[in-house]
A and B are shown apart, each in its own frame.
Chain A
Amino acid sequence: MSEPDHWLVRPKTIRMLWIVFSIILALLVLSDLVVHHHAHFGIDGTFGFYAWYGFLSCVVLVVGSKALGAILKRRDTYYDD
């Protein structure tokens, strides 16, 4: 017996969500053209700073974590036996 997919997980909905998400992202970056950021350091007032910096930070954090994980990861029964 298979129940019909919840509307939220249908491929059509997910595609729709991606489109809406992309539009929001684009609008947010474009908003930098009109919103004046009070820059404290210079770099934080440049166009799209928070967008690329947020994205890049996450990439670095994930890749860095994976690298550390390669050394420090153990199966989750490590301390049990």
Chain B
Amino acid sequence: MTISAILPPGVILILAGFLLPLLQGHARTAALLIAPVITLAVIWQVPDGVVMSLGFMGYTLTPVEGDTLSRLFATIFAIMAFGGGLFALNQDRVTELAAAFVYAGAAIGVTFAGDLITLFVFWEIMALASTLVVWSAGAKAFGAGMRYVSIHLLGGVLLMIGIIGEVAATGSVEFTAIQPDTAARWFILAGFLINAGAPPLSAWLPDAYPEASWSGMVFLSAFTTKTAVYVLLRGFPGADILVFVGLYMIFYGIVYAILENDMRRILAYSIVNQVGFMVCGIGIGTTMALNGAAAHAFTHIIYKALLLMSAGSVLYMTGKRKCTDLGGLFRTMPLTAICGIIGALSISSFPLTSGFISKSMISQAAADEHLFVVWMALAAASAGVFLHAGIKFPWFVFFQKDSGMRPEEPPWNMKAAMVLFSFLCIGLGVLPYPLYAMLPYPVDYVPYTVSHVTSMLQLLLFSGLAFFLMLGMLKRTLTITLDFDWFYRGLGKVLAKEFDMRSARAWGAMVERLYDAVVRFVGTLYRHHGPQGVLARSWPTGSMAFWTTLLLCACVIVYYF
């Protein structure tokens, strides 16, 4: 009997989150660092199969059901909670830390959910907790948080519709591999894909995440999109549409990141791009591709968190986030720069970094399946990743021009978190086999062949050449790029403005008409009753006598006849 039979591993982290606001100083530090470790220990003790089950409204819920895939994702989420907690030790907004731990715990809850109802409950806790993480950055993040939660609640509603339809049709709440072949299943898929950052609603991610605090975005980058990858891996392996959705996300991320000026929005777009690789792999659906997607999610969480820690450190020390304001920081922040570069090389899947041993499995799967167009697109995208994140981020933040700023390195805990995750990036890149052993299917793949290393280096270094030759075209400007979110941010405003203008005109016309009517009425009144009015004249006595005489005459005449 394991602990997880009584207490789901994710709930441990959720409880720790609720405890955090009650703690101060060293006690809080200890809770932040120990809770993820305990959670990780419990995760590794979850055996295969149903561990906990309970009845609910006639259905059998399985809040904890373990297998390799669950443990893989739960493990990386717990590691992330630890690394994020370490990085955020000096974050004085305790709401953010508490929300982040509840968020991480809910993500772990999703990975062990054996049924759709449990999954939905944890899914919604994630949406609420992550919104709190965004909001705890302060008043400026309110609008972005509101848009974020609206999109996620919409996703939740779609998922709920799908789950109800699925349960009504099959009578089972079990969460197993399905295909999008009924309306209900399409709704489930849509709910999952919204959290993955899929089109057309991808904009929620680069809109909201960069508005979080310097530490908040580190947490946010890890859980929502990767739980979506997890549920797609388990629920829709081999669904063809995911190949195209994934490819769209890959190129969307690259193009928007190339045009972006805000360093953390560049990294946000590259989350969509990287999740695109995973979604594409899930769509290909062979064991190699699914292993690749799972491995890539694992490595991605680490190097993306590392990149965002590096960016977060820069934001924390300088208060600046735009590339146009930054540059030349390598002089006084060498450690932050080096860690950022290690993250950047990992995301570009440079040999000896973690990205190299995970992303290449997805390309390999495309090649094995003879998907020529997909393979060519993935290769082009690998070059594009180096361009938009691998070089662009470190170049514009740490080199480029001398911004004149001479910030110091961040506090020790932030440095420690970056160094830890840098070691993980390189460690997994050099020794991939422990990770391969944790993947859902047996791995028959050797990443380090001379051919693979030289071809990857050619692809990447020539992309680097292209970057520096086209530096003029990549110069940053004070701009943003319109996206689908314009429909709910810009269009509404335009309509409101138009309505405002037109209603003002209508009001004006109405007032004018009313005024005219009043003026006319008063005019008529004046004409009849005014000093010169027919009904208000003072009549001379003579005319009175005249009229009386006339009337008397008339009486006489009438009487006479």
Q: How far is the CA of A44 from the CA of B382 in the complex (A)?
A: 15
A31 contacts the other chain (Cβ, under 8 Å)? yes
A4 CB to nearest chain B CB (Å): 12
Q: How many residue pairs, one in A and one in B, have C-beta atoms under 8 Å apart?
A: 144
Q: Say yes or no: B458 contacts A29, CB within 8 Å.
A: yes
Give residues of chain A (8-51) contacting chain B, Cβ–Cβ below 8 Å.
8-9, 21, 24-25, 28-29, 31-32, 35-38, 40-41, 44, 48-51
User: Contacts A31-B454, A57-B384, A62-B473 hold; do A72 and B481 have CB atoms under 8 A apart?
Assistant: yes
> Which residues on B sit within 8 Å (CB–CB) of A44?
375
B556 interface hit (Cβ, 8 Å): no
Range for the number of chain A residues in contact with chain B: 35 or more
Task: Judge whether A40 and B258 touch: CB under 8 Å.
Answer: no
- Tell me if B255 and A51 are in contact (CB < 8 A): no
Residues of A within 8 A of B500 (CB): none
Take A40-B370, A79-B490 as given contacts and tell me if A57 and B380 are in contact as well, using a CB distance cutoff of 8 Å: yes
Contact B458 A58 (CB under 8 A): no
* Interchain CB contact under 8 A, A28 and B479: no
Complex contact B455–A50 (CB within 8 A)? yes
Q: Mark A53-80, 1 if CB is under 8 A from B, else 0.
A: 1110111111111101100111110110
Contacts of A9 in B (CB 8 A): 328, 399, 402
Asked if B461 and A61 sit within 8 Å, CB to CB, the answer is: no
Number of interface residues of B (CB under 8 A): 55
B467 near A58: Cβ-Cβ < 8 Å: yes
Cβ contacts under 8 Å, B455 to chain A? 37, 49-50
Determine the distance from Cα of A49 to Cα of B376 in the docked complex, in whole angstroms: 11
A64 to B465, alpha carbons, bound, how many Å? 18
- Interface residue from A24, A40, A54, A68 paired with B459 (Cβ < 8 Å): A54
| B255 in complex: contacting residue of A25, A68, A74, A76, CB < 8 Å | A68
* Known A-B contacts A9-B402, A38-B451, A40-B367; A53 and B479 likewise in contact (beta carbons under 8 Å): no
Which 3 A-B residue pairs are closest in the complex by CB-CB distance?
A58-B466, A57-B380, A50-B458
Chain B interfacial positions (CB closer than 8 Å to A): 251, 254-255, 258-259, 261-262, 322, 328, 330-331, 367-368, 370, 372, 375, 379-384, 387-388, 399, 402, 450-451, 454-467, 470, 473-474, 477-483, 489-490, 493
User: 22 interchain pairs (CB within 8 A)?
Assistant: A32-B454, A37-B455, A40-B368, A50-B458, A52-B462, A54-B379, A54-B459, A57-B381, A57-B384, A58-B384, A58-B470, A61-B384, A62-B470, A62-B473, A62-B474, A64-B255, A66-B473, A72-B481, A73-B481, A74-B481, A76-B479, A79-B490
